[in-house]
A and B are shown apart, each in its own frame.
Chain A
Amino acid sequence: MNAPASPAAPDALPRHFLGLEGVSAATINRILEEATRFRRLVEQPNKKADTLKGRTVINLFFESSTRTRTSFELAGKRLSADVININASASATQKGETWLDTVRTLEAMTPDALVIRHAESGTPHMAARALSSHCSVINAGDGTHEHPTQALLDILTIQHHKGPIEGLRVAIVGDAAHSRVARSQIHALHTMGAAEIRLVGPKTLIPARAEEALGVQVFHDADAGLEGADVIIMLRMQLERIRGAAVPSQREYFRLYGLDRRRVARAADDVLVMHPGPMNRGVEIASEVADGPYSVILPQVTNGLAIRMAVLKLLAGGESA
């Protein structure tokens, strides 16, 4: 569904932004360039541009996420769009209006972009198929599938600190099986030419046939998986999976896969440590690392705003196909 319906200008973006699988390096670079410009803007005292004046962006969140929603909301407002936030309950689907009805109803209010977050994989794709207007759908996280803007902010952060992605060795540590961010990151890292992408974790947290499905290398031994890594991306551990069937205890998980100073030392000397937040200190990451010199966890947040401004401008601003 990423393909434009009609022939478009060669550098036009797809109409919808549903994921990073199959998205070209040219498109990703276009977003990153735009985001780099916005990154300068948001550091100035007057943070507003009138790029999306008169345009409407609806944030439709079926699953709550203060961080992502605030980031999209601020991004729209900085570009002078009219931004409306809707927190819809996905469980209302049992009776009466379905979530797709909600999408269609909002579409009838003629927004230029619908930013959708949903606990089930594939819902932005369904929403995009159901739309009849030229409204763009932007995926703000669908189930355990993709979270493309979150992944691009990481790519932007890596580029800022390390230059081109090309040739980098990236280790993604933790619960890749349930991580939408990891899937999007992996697609983008491949497209941008990363030399090696490793998934590190116990078998219970690595998705089935990950090597074949995602083109990664799988490591169950953290020390081996971190050896020589240029970038370490820590994934957030959902605490309910601990002492469930995936991991016996926090203690055992931290001992086997937690990122402490000793493990960071296995990686490259100028390694970059990233985490999408919110962090579970002492579960997946030690405070000495989270707050240490390699960590770029707070700059990630600023870059997130810039990426969302770029995506909104390129899609809701009428530059997409």
Chain B
Amino acid sequence: MNAIAASMAGIVIRVNVQVGDAVQPGQDVVVLESMKMEIPVQAEAAGTVRAVNVKEGDFVNEGDVLVELEG
């Protein structure tokens, strides 16, 4: 399993993937907003989305797992 974690505390403003989607390395899976800036969170490796743990408007802390991949 490959976990995609938040790089900083912030608010989820967009979730770009859903369960079953295939993602590529470098793809923006979630966009966070922190201190008036939009921060894209990217997949580091290719895989298929197994779980999406957040939705728009959620507050996340640094290290929280946002999306889980398999494959």
Decide whether A and B are members of one complex.
Answer: no
Q: Which residues of A contact B (CB under 8 A)?
A: none
